Amino acid sequence: MDVKDDSLNLAVDHLEKTVSQYQSELDTKVNFGALQDAIDTLEKAMQRYQGFAQEKMDHVRRLNTKIRHDYRKCVSLIFEWCTTATNIIATVLTQIGSKSKDTRKMNIKMVHELLKDGLEKAEASLSLLDDVLLNTSELKDQFLSLTHVIEKNYNKKLAETTPWWSNLISGIFSEVGEIIFSFIGKKLGFSEEMAKIFGAKCLEEWNNVMDPKKKIEGIKTFFEILKDRVEVAQKTTSNVIDALKEDHTNLAELKGKLRSSDILQELLTSKSKDKRMSFAKSLETLKEQCEKYILWHKSGQTTSGNNTNEGDTNGSKKQILSH
């Protein structure tokens, strides 16, 4: 295989790697949609908590909103490209051995535009993922700080003699329990971790806690678990970026080479069946990975449990853009 052929395969391999990393790492290990839903619910629960902790929760809300926006855009760029790619590649694969000049010309144009568009979207998506990483790192620091603030604010005498303080802590404790033992909480492993650390194995056991100091401990423990989950999101996102940026320096050169359709024309019309079939195999692998990615999102795996398993890609696209 010559340098020109290698450029095409590098482009296809990079796009396949991008889709694979997004599904196996970001969707499966992090589940940003569910994590953000949990943080949203917590922020609402903490609205009654005044002072420095409330100021920090305001900052958490702003960070979470920014992460949600950037991550949604980051994912939708890849999702929408995959939807297009599966259709185009399927067409090209059925016609790759065609002797029709018009068919070969059409296939050359379609694959050329598809790969060029894919590399551009992958680059834009990676840039957004950089922003997600930056804000996720700050979010982790905010939750770490919040655990110290809440512990510092606890005053045993005040808790025992001031009804409003006791009611405030009880209200937050109750709502935190709802998060921990909800579908989202179980999906993110909150309930399992809380059972190990705090001892409450279900919502009923959680609500049976009466000691204000114990409630503060429970709230603090939840913040620590949430901080750990955000840290996993941070590290996983960083690993994905590192893995994809190994190829990043080659993207500009690849995009430059793909501005010309000569390399595609040479490959798709090559008299060498081995060359055509080798490239067809690379396209088939990319198509299969895209199909897995689309199916994952259509099945609602990245949502907080709202399965909108509609029978078309438009339905799944709406679902992606809502998380």
Examine the pLDDT at 266 and tell me if it is beyond 90: no
Q: Which domain holds residue 140?
A: 3-154+231-321
- Dihedral of CA 54/59/62/64: which sign? negative
Convert the chain into a string of H (helix), E (strand) and C (coil): CCHHHHHHHHHHHHHHHHHHHHHHHHHHHHCHHHHHHHHHHHHHHHHHCCCHHHHHHHHHHHHHHHHHHHHHHHHHHHHHHHHHHHHHHHHHHHHCCCCCHHHHHHHHHHHHHHHHHHHHHHHHHHHHHHHHHHHHHHHHHHHHHHHHHHHHHCCHHHHHHCHHHHHHHHHHHHHHHHHHCCHHHHHCCHHHHHHHHCCCCCHHHHHCCCCHHHHHHHHHHHHHHHHHHHHHHHHHHHHHHHHHHHHHHHHHHHHHHHCCCHHHHHHHCCCCHHHHHHHHHHHHHHHHHHHHHHHHHHCCCCCCCCCCCCCCHHHHHHHHHCC
Tell me the pLDDT tens digit for each residue of 38-74. Answer: 888 888 777 766 666 677 888 888 898 999 899 999 9
The answer to whether residue 46 is domain-embedded is yes
The answer to whether residue 189 is domain-embedded is no
Burial class (CB in 10 A: 0-12, 13-18, 19+), 254: middle
The answer to whether residue 297 is domain-embedded is yes
CA distance 49 to 106: 63
Overall number of domains in the chain: 1
pLDDT band at 198 (very low <50, low <70, confident <90, very high): very high
pTM: 0.78
The answer to whether residue 168 is domain-embedded is no
The answer to whether residue 175 is domain-embedded is no
Burial class (CB in 10 A: 0-12, 13-18, 19+), 211: exposed
CA distance 45 to 151: 17
The answer to whether residue 106 is domain-embedded is yes
CATH assignment of the domain containing 40:
1.20.1170
Examine the pLDDT at 13 and tell me if it is beyond 70: yes
Examine the pLDDT at 314 and tell me if it is beyond 80: no
Average pLDDT over residues 295-310: 52
Average pLDDT over residues 14-32: 86
Which of 100-109, 162-171, 206-215, 299-308 is predicted least confidently? 299-308
The answer to whether residue 273 is domain-embedded is yes
* CB contact at 8 A, 116 and 65: no
CA distance 152 to 143: 14
Average pLDDT over residues 223-233: 89
Which of 9-13, 262-266, 280-284 is predicted least confidently? 262-266
The answer to whether residue 254 is domain-embedded is yes
CA distance 144 to 140: 6
